[in-house]
Structure formats: C-alpha cells, structure tokens
C-alpha cells in the first residue's frame, strides 16, 4: 500500500478541525492553521462548484488522490463523501476498457485528450480531458480537468448522419443563409436542376425562380415563413437548361436560441413526371380520345368563361352546334372502325374551316361545337356555319371509298338566344334538329319557335313507344300503275301514325326518331307482318291481290335479324313471297357492308323482289347497283317534279331509264302528279308510275276497292 503522506489528506484535516471545536478554534493560538483551513474550504467549494470533472492524480502511484463533486456525479459516485476510500482507486479503475488508447503518458506536459471513464455501474462515459502536471519536490501530481462529451458525440454523430442523408438523399436540399443566399446544396440538387454547387453557392435563391409565378406568390411564401416558420407546396422553378421545373417543396427555418431565423432548409422533389401524368389525366378528362378535341366538359368551361367576358365587354358570342347527317346509318353500314375514321376526318375538316382562335369541341358521338367570340353580328356566325357546310361538299376518302357526308348546324347567339351555357347548348341543339328536319346539309339560326318543336319531338319519342302496342300505326296504300296500259300493278304501303290527340302524323316526323332510338326494329317487324296479313286477307276475300312494297330501314337490315323476320311474316300470314316487295333507300344501298349485302341476297333468295327507293338522291351509280340483288329502281320525285319543263331533269330521267333497262331493272317513277309528267315518262320508256295522279295513299279498305275479284269468285 502506498503511503498516505503522499496525498493531501483533506479528510484528516477536516476531522482535526472539527475535533478542536468551534469555540476552541476561535480562541486558538493557531491562526495560520485557521487561515489555511479556510483556504482549503474555499478551494474545495470552488472545486465542487465547477461543472467540469476534476481528478487529481498522483503520478508516482498512478492513483487518484482527489475528485470533485462533478467527477463523483459523472462517474456515479455522487453519494460518496469527497475523500472516501480513494485508496482503492488506482487510475486504471477510473478508465473504461474502451478508453481511447493513449500512447503518450500524460507526464510530459499539459495536453488534451479524449478517453472513456468508467462509471460505478461499469458503463463508459466519454470525456475530453485536459491534463496539467504539478511537479514539486517528490510530489508529482497531475490535474485532469475533463468534460462529459456524451452529448457532443451524439450531436457529432447526428451531424455525420445528417451529412450522409444530405449527400445521398434523392430529394434536392438547399440550405439558405438568413439573407436568402445559398449556403449549401446536395448532389441531388445538381442532378435535378443541372446547376453544380459552385454555380449556385453564395448566389441569391431568386436565381432559381420561374417566370410562371408573380411577385405575389413569393410574398405569400415569405409571409408563411414569418408566421409559421415553414412553407409546403408546389412551386415552379427553372432548370439550368431553362426548362420549367415543377417541384414539391418544403421550407423550414432554423432558429437560434433567441428565436431568430439563421438558416432555411429547403427540401424538394422533382414532380415533372407527376405533373406530366396529371396533365395526361387532365387531357383525358377534357378531350375526346378519338379526335383529341376538347370534349363537352371543356366546352362547358370555355363557354362559361366566354360568357363572363361577353357580359363584361358587351360583345356577341355564337355557339355552333354541329351534327353529322345520318351518321348512325354510316356507322351501322360501314362499321364502327370506318365510323371512327370518319369522325376524325370530320373533326379535322371542321377545325380547318374556323380560325385557330375559335374554340372547337367534340361533344359526343357525331356532335361537334364551335364557339365564336367577339362577333359583330349574327351574319358573322352564319358565314362561319356556311363555310363549314361547304367544306363538306367534297367526299371523304374512307379506306379508298368516297363517302359524301353532310352536316346540320344550329346557331345560338348570346345574349339574344340564351343567357347561360346550358340555355345556349339546348337552343343550339334545337336549331340543329331544325336544320336536320329540313333535310340536313344546312345551318339554321335558333328562334323561340324551335323550343316548342324540340319539346314536341321529345313528346313524339315518348308516345311513339306506346303507339305500336296501342295499335296507333296504320298502313296506307298508294297504287302503282303500269304506264303501258294503265293497269293497277302494285301498291306501296306507307305508315301513318293516328295519334289520339294530334291526328295523323306523317312518317317523316317519326321514322327518323324511331331509327335513332332503335324503335324502328320492333315497329318495322310489326308493320311488315301487318302488310303480309292484309295482302293475304285480300286473296282470302277472293280478290286479285297485287304485290305490295314495304319500306325497310337500313337500321333493320344492319341491326336486326331481317331475313328471319321476313320469313316469319310470310310463314305466319301464308302470303306467297312474290306478292311482297321490299324498298331500301339508295343511301343505304350505297353504303352496304358485305354483311348487309349478303342479307339482301338471302331476302332475294326467298323470292322477294327488292327496290331501290329515292333513286338519284344518294349519289348511287347504276354500275354499283349491278352488285346488288335489286330488280326495281324508283326515281325520286324531286326529278319527276320538274319534268317535262326542266331539260336537265328530263335528260337525267331519260338516262336513268335507259341505263336501268340496260341492267334489266324495272323503273318506277315516284310523285307523278300531272298528265304531262305521265306522258313524258311513258314516252321515255318508264315502266311504272306512282303518285297523286294515280291515287293518294289511302286506308287499306279504300285501296281494296281498286282490286278486282278473281275470275270465278
Ligand atoms: P317513300 O318510300 O319515298 O314514299 C313516297 C312518299 O312520297 C310518301 O310519303 C308518299 O305519300 C309521297 N308521295 C307519293 N306520291 C306523291 C306525289 O304525287 N306528290 C308528293 N308530293 N308526294 C307523293 P310519306 O308517306 O309521307 O312517306 C315518306 C317516307 O317515309 C317514305 O318515302 C319512306 O321513306 C318513309 N316510310 C313510309 N312508311 C314507312 C314504313 O312503313 N317503314 C319505313 N322504314 N319507312 C317508311
Ligand atoms: Mg318507299
Ligand atoms: Mg321514295
């Protein structure tokens, strides 16, 4: 055991002083001792006041000879009296086995080192100590003043970790100084923006601004930073290349102990991909996928905005509501793929007919719209509509096939025809239907009258559904006469709707609606069966029945089992097929797909004759008719109307008759109203005539009176 005398024995000194007693001390003859003791007390108090760990080490014995309160607390010996049993405290016992190896022994000079002390419970405590030597005579003391650096090491570790995050983050990080100049950027920043660190450091952050935001936007950010110390949101920046760069950015202020912002940390991610898919989604939601034109939704937005502008400036605004004529027929006959091709071509042609600044939209199916702002009169809108209609005079090339397509356009003007987007759209639709009901290939300007008509149309559609069941549909019969001998040779069955309230409604009013809604299919089947039963009843009554021609819609041929329907009607009625003829329109025959042509052959194979109706109106070529199993053509009454005075029409009729005969077809002239017309037709070699001259369409009973009884009956 080393000798105690080598140490400053505080305990012993204190014990002795206490042993003397306060009174005796006061009277003491040892004033030096008293002074020395006071010094010592002050020194100890001072030592214990220090927050630094103080160890006094005897270098000769390598033992700790004293320690202060901070040392006892840090090492977990707080409860120990200051000088308790330090005999058992070799320096080694204070050092943790993990302590940083210290190659130089601390006996040379004063120095600082970092090591690990050992707590009472054996755990390490990292310390930074400064050691100074006191060498006097035989006494060689080292005073170690140290500090617990657990916190500091933790902070350093945190910083190291933060640096790793900073360097490896996929998010861009910018550290700003209080004056908003750039203090540091990470590699991701460079990767995203294209700027290297040296290019931006010490530059003001405003160098990364985009012109997409105004001053107000940045003021908003500043205000939020001042109020809440942070900002989070989307922001446009600029890449080094000058390209716009959308970012998702968070800015947080770093405050000092006084709450003053000393730095700002901006963390951002590049959201250009997200923006792009958002843009694509947005495009999808607002554009027609087929034509890429703005859709109905976007039209509504554009129209509303235009209305606000017009209201403010007092200018006129026009909406052109456009619909392709007979698109359904085209789609049904040529197939949906060709229909799509046509829609794209139509969209293109409409766009090319208007100025780039005019807003065009593809609303749905075959409906388009054009918005004209700042027009000076209705005439301006009419001029544009006329231009669009005329641009459709040339045929469309659909897979090598020339298709003639026309449009119906309805025009509404703000403020005259409506104050709101929905009123303008509704009235544009009415005007368009008006154009359509007049035969299409034209435009019509909205009038208040049209609202009533549109309403009537809607009513028609609803009540038409009941008309079939309620037996309100009736076939009228119009006689046909052979021109060579004026003999009754047939009849055409023409439907009439006997409406309980509105009286007789002609087919032109409700057939197009029935075709659009598909109602034509059950209705057509019903009428066909009715016609067959009626003809058979004439035979049963002992009359000489003549062949009856029934009109068939293209929709029936394309979208219903027409061959089965006809077979069933013949079977159920028992009518010989030779007494039934079917009329199909020229435009349908022209656009026939292979499937529909096959069906026509199957019908012909049943022994039924087929006629092409309204010949001359649908650009059919007689040569093409050779491909079809038709036996009759009916010249449209528009041509018949002008003969014999109109030389052009006369020439056309003569040519049609000659060519039809060349193809072995029977020619029927429709709409013959005068003797002069009849004479011309007879002279031109026409076979059969039909028209008011011979007789108007009449109820079956009236027509039956024209039929002769069978000889012998
Ligand atoms: P369409 O088949 O061309 O019928 C001839 C039309 O001309 C009939 O009109 C007839 O009344 C009319 N008409 C006949 N002679 C004359 C005349 O001398 N002068 C004038 N101005 N007109 C004459 P309607 O009955 O109004 O039928 C119109 C169209 O409705 C028909 O034209 C036909 O396409 C269609 N239609 C009629 N009934 C049916 C039917 O049962 N089914 C189908 N799918 N369509 C039908
Ligand atoms: Mg007809
Ligand atoms: Mg006709």
Distance between Cα 533 and ligand 3 center (Å): 23
Distance between Cα 531 and ligand 2 center (Å): 14
Same domain assignment for residues 252 and 317: no
Same domain assignment for residues 322 and 415: yes
Our answer on whether the CB atom of 506 is closer than 6 Å to any ligand 1 atom is yes
Q: What is the pLDDT of residue 369?
A: 96
Strand pairing category for 139-148 and 53-58: antiparallel
Q: What is the pLDDT of residue 105?
A: 45
Number of domains in the chain: 4
3-class secondary-structure state, position 575:
coil
- Structure token pair of residue 618: 């649908």
Look at residue 713 and tell me if it is in a domain. no
Length of the chain: 713
Look at residue 85 and tell me if it is in a domain. yes
pLDDT tens digits, 670-689: 999 999 999 999 999 999 99
pLDDT greater than 80 at residue 246: yes
pLDDT greater than 90 at residue 432: yes
Our answer on whether the CB atom of 507 is closer than 6 Å to any ligand 1 atom is yes
Same domain assignment for residues 267 and 355: no
CATH of the domain at 418: 3.30.70.270
Last residue of a domain, one of 275, 304, 321: 275
Same domain assignment for residues 537 and 659: yes
Our answer on whether the CB atom of 614 is closer than 6 Å to any ligand 1 atom is yes
The protein residues having their C-beta less than 5 angstroms from ligand 2 (an ion) are 551, 583, 613
CA gap 149, 99 in Å, rounded: 13
The closest residue, in CA terms, to atom 16 on ligand 1 is: 671
Same domain assignment for residues 412 and 296: yes
Look at residue 281 and tell me if it is in a domain. no
Distance between Cα 287 and ligand 2 center (Å): 41
Our answer on whether the CB atom of 692 is closer than 6 Å to any ligand 1 atom is yes
CATH of the domain at 186: 3.30.450.20
Our answer on whether the CB atom of 671 is closer than 6 Å to any ligand 1 atom is yes
Distance between Cα 584 and ligand 2 center (Å): 7
Residue 42 Cα distances to 29, 37, 208, 305, angstroms: 22, 9, 63, 87
Same domain assignment for residues 339 and 399: yes
Last residue of a domain, one of 148, 174, 193: 148
Q: What is the pLDDT of residue 713?
A: 60
Q: How confident is the model at residue 600 (pLDDT cuts 50, 70, 90)?
A: very high
Q: What is the pLDDT of residue 102?
A: 47
Last residue of a domain, one of 275, 301, 326: 275
Look at residue 510 and tell me if it is in a domain. yes
3-class secondary-structure state, position 361:
strand
3-class secondary-structure state, position 283:
helix
Q: What is the pLDDT of residue 6?
A: 44
Our answer on whether the CB atom of 474 is closer than 6 Å to any ligand 1 atom is no
Q: What is the pLDDT of residue 381?
A: 93
Q: How confident is the model at residue 623 (pLDDT cuts 50, 70, 90)?
A: low
Q: How confident is the model at residue 447 (pLDDT cuts 50, 70, 90)?
A: confident
CATH of the domain at 672: 3.20.20.450
pLDDT tens digits, 182-223: 999 999 999 999 999 999 999 999 999 998 999 999 999 999
Look at residue 521 and tell me if it is in a domain. yes
Q: What is the pLDDT of residue 620?
A: 54
Q: Which ligand is nearest to the CA of 475?
A: 1
The closest residue, in CA terms, to atom 15 on ligand 1 is: 691
Same domain assignment for residues 170 and 86: no
pLDDT greater than 80 at residue 589: no
Same domain assignment for residues 442 and 315: yes
Same domain assignment for residues 240 and 299: no
Q: What is the pLDDT of residue 454?
A: 67
Q: How confident is the model at residue 16 (pLDDT cuts 50, 70, 90)?
A: low
CA gap 84, 9 in Å, rounded: 11
CA gap 283, 281 in Å, rounded: 5
Same domain assignment for residues 672 and 569: yes
Same domain assignment for residues 349 and 420: yes
CA gap 405, 408 in Å, rounded: 10
Q: Which ligand is nearest to the CA of 690?
A: 1
Q: In sequence order, which residues have a C-beta less than 8 Å from that of residue 403 and are 6 or more positions away?
A: 330, 334, 342, 395, 396, 397, 591
Look at residue 188 and tell me if it is in a domain. yes
Give me the percent of the chain exceeding a pLDDT of 90.
44
The closest residue, in CA terms, to atom 5 on ligand 1 is: 670
Phi-psi region of 295 (alpha: psi -120 to 50; beta: other; left: phi over 0): beta
Q: How confident is the model at residue 393 (pLDDT cuts 50, 70, 90)?
A: confident
What's the domain range around 137?
Answer: 10-148
Same domain assignment for residues 52 and 89: yes
Our answer on whether the CB atom of 5 is closer than 6 Å to any ligand 1 atom is no
Look at residue 457 and tell me if it is in a domain. no
State the closest ligand 1 atom to the C-alpha of 494, by its place in the atom list counted from 1: 38
């Amino acid at each position: 055991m080393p000798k105690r005398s080598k140490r400053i024995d505080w305990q012993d000194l204190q014990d002795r002083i206490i042993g003397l007693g306060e009174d005796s001390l006061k009277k003491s003859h040892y004033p030096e001792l008293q002074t020395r003791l006071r010094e010592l007390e002050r020194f100890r108090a001072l030592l214990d006041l220090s927050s630094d760990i103080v160890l006094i080490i005897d270098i000769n014995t390598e033992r700790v000879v004293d320690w202060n309160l901070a040392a006892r607390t840090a090492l977990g010996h707080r409860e120990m009296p200051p000088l308790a049993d330090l005999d058992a405290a070799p320096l080694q016992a204070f050092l943790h086995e993990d302590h940083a190896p210290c190659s130089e022994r601390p006996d040379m000079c004063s120095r600082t080192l970092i090591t690990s002390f050992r707590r009472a419970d054996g755990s390490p405590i990292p310390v930074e100590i400064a050691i100074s030597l006191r060498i006097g005579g035989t006494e060689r003391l080292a005073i170690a003043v140290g500090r617990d650096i657990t916190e500091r090491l933790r902070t350093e570790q945190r910083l190291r970790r933060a640096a790793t995050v900073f360097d490896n983050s996929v998010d861009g990080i910018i550290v700003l100084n209080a004056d908003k100049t750039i203090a540091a950027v990470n590699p991701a920043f460079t990767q995203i923006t294209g700027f290297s660190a040296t290019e931006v450091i010490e530059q003001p952050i405003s160098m990364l601004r985009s012109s997409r935001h105004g001053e107000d936007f940045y003021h908003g950010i500043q205000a939020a930073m001042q109020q809440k110390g942070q900002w989070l949101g989307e922001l446009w920046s600029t890449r080094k290349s000058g390209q716009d760069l959308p970012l998702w950015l968070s800015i947080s202020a770093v405050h000092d102990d006084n709450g003053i912002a000393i730095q700002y940390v901006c963390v951002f991610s590049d959201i250009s991909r997200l923006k792009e898919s958002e843009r694509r989604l947005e495009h999808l939601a607002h554009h027609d996928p087929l034509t890429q034109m703005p859709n109905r939704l976007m039209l509504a937005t554009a129209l509303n905005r235009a209305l606000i502008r017009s209201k403010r400036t007092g200018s006129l605004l026009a909406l052109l509501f456009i619909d392709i004529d007979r698109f359904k027929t085209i789609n049904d006959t040529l197939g949906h793929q060709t229909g799509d091709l046509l829609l794209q071509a139509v969209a293109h042609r409409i766009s090319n007919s208007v100025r780039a600044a005019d807003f065009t939209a593809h609303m749905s199916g075959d409906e388009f719209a054009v918005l004209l702002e700042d027009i000076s009169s209705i005439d301006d809108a009419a001029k544009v509509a006329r231009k669009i209609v005329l641009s459709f005079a040339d045929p469309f090339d659909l897979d090598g096939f020339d298709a003639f397509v026309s449009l119906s356009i309805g025009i509404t003007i703000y403020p005259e025809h409506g104050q709101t987007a929905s009123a303008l759209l509704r009235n544009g639709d009415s005007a368009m239907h008006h154009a359509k009901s007049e035969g299409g290939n034209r435009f019509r300007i909205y009038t208040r009258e049209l609202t009533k008509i549109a309403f009537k149309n809607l009513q028609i559609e609803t009540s038409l559904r009941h008309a079939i069941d309620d037996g309100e549909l009736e076939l009228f019969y119009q006689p046909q006469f052979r021109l060579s001998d004026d003999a009754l040779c047939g009849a055409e069955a023409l439907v009439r709707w006997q409406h309980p309230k509105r009286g007789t409604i002609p087919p032109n009013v409700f057939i197009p609606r029935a075709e659009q809604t598909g109602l034509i299919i059950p209705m057509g089947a019903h009428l066909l069966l009715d016609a067959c039963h009626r003809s058979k009843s004439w035979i049963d009554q002992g009359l000489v029945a003549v062949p009856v021609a029934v009109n068939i819609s293209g929709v029936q041929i394309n979208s219903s089992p027409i061959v089965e329907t006809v077979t069933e009607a013949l079977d159920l009625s028992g009518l010989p097929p030779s007494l039934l003829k079917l009329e199909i329109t020229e435009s349908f025959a022209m656009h026939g797909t292979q499937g529909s042509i096959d069906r026509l052959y199957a019908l012909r194979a049943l022994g039924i004759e087929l006629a092409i109706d309204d010949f001359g109106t649908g650009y059919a070529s007689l040569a093409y008719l050779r491909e079809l199993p038709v036996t009759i053509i009916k010249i449209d009454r528009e041509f018949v109307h002008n003969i014999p005075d109109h030389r052009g029409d006369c020439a056309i009729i003569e040519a049609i008759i000659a060519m039809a005969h060349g193809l072995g077809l029977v020619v029927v002239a429709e709409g013959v109203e005068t003797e002069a017309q009849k004479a011309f037709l007879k002279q031109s070699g026409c076979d059969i005539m039909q028209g008011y001259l011979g007789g108007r369409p009449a109820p079956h009973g009236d027509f039956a009176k024209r039929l002769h009884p069978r000889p012998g009956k």
